[in-house]
Chains A and B, each alone.
Chain A
Amino acid sequence: MSLGVFVVLALFILGSALGVILARNPVRSAMCLVMTLFFLAVLYLFLDAHMVGTLQVIVYTGAIMVLFLFVIMLLNLQTDPEESSATTTLSAAGGLCALFVGLLMYLVGNVENVPEPARDGFGSIQSVAEALFLRLMLPFEITSVLMLVAIIGAVVLAKRKIQ
């Protein structure tokens, strides 16, 4: 895809990510995060990762963020007036993060070349499934046990104590 489309998408992603950390209202933060995840899914589609992009919409945007919004609604969180927008903390954190990002870019960003055209069937469900179930079988099983533990943990933590 051409550079112009990438730059536009990147600006949207970074803009909504800034919206996540700068919005005062937690619901607006959550909706900005939803937008960021959605634009990331579009970016994955451009990277020939069709399965991963669709999964990002189904799992991340469609389930995890709904869980976030559900908890925010359940706890009835409003805009927190006590959270101070101390400019010194913000600019210090911003400056440190900019340094950090610059260092990351310098260290990792040397992959100058353009990738070659993808082989047929790259990023399709078959190829991801082959990689997952043939070569990454053990991590897959361990993550399913992890999910079971997480479900049990969440239910135990969020249950009200039965008197």
Chain B
Amino acid sequence: MTEMVPTNYYVFLAAALFGIGTAGVLTRRNVIVIFMSIELMLNAVNLVFVAFARHFQSAEGQAIVFLVMIVAAAEAAVGLAIFISIFRNRETLNADEINLLKG
């Protein structure tokens, strides 16, 4: 560890990752790929937490990353269960076609 990278480079990387995730949510129609883009955004947030935890030498930042991972796991479990139910009922996973509640 001779020279460290300045912290704002990590923030830039996380911002770019977040932007890619947002573009995925906006453009793709397959709900599983939309969900994966949401996971990308969550990971970008995790990266910012870890980078600043290193910057301020705080262990709470890393503990919060642990909690974010748990929340992501819970969300993935429930979300995928919802997708399975949708697939059983509508035979499709295209977000444009799941529009029964549309006005």
Contacts and interface: CB of A to CB of B under 8 A. Distances in A.
Interface string A35-50: 0110010011001110
A6 B72 contact: no
Given A59-B73, A153-B81, A158-B84, A82 B94 contact: yes
B62 A128 contact: yes
Dominant SS among interface residues on chain B: helix
B62 A83 contact: no
Dominant SS among interface residues on chain A: helix
Given A55-B69, A83-B29, A147-B74, A71 B80 contact: yes
A154 B81 contact: yes
B56 to A, nearest CB: 8
Interface residues of B, number: 74
B17 A132 contact: no
Contacts of B73: 59, 63-64, 147, 150
Contact of A67 (B10, B80, B87): B80
Interface string A18-37: 10110000100110010011
A20 B36 contact: yes
Interface residues of A, number: 87
Contact of B65 (A18, A52, A77, A122): A52
Interface string A114-146: 111111001100011011100110011001001
B2 A2 contact: yes
B62 A64 contact: no
- For the complex of A and B, the 4 pairs showing the least CB-CB separation, nearest first, are A21-B24, A150-B74, A101-B19, A157-B81
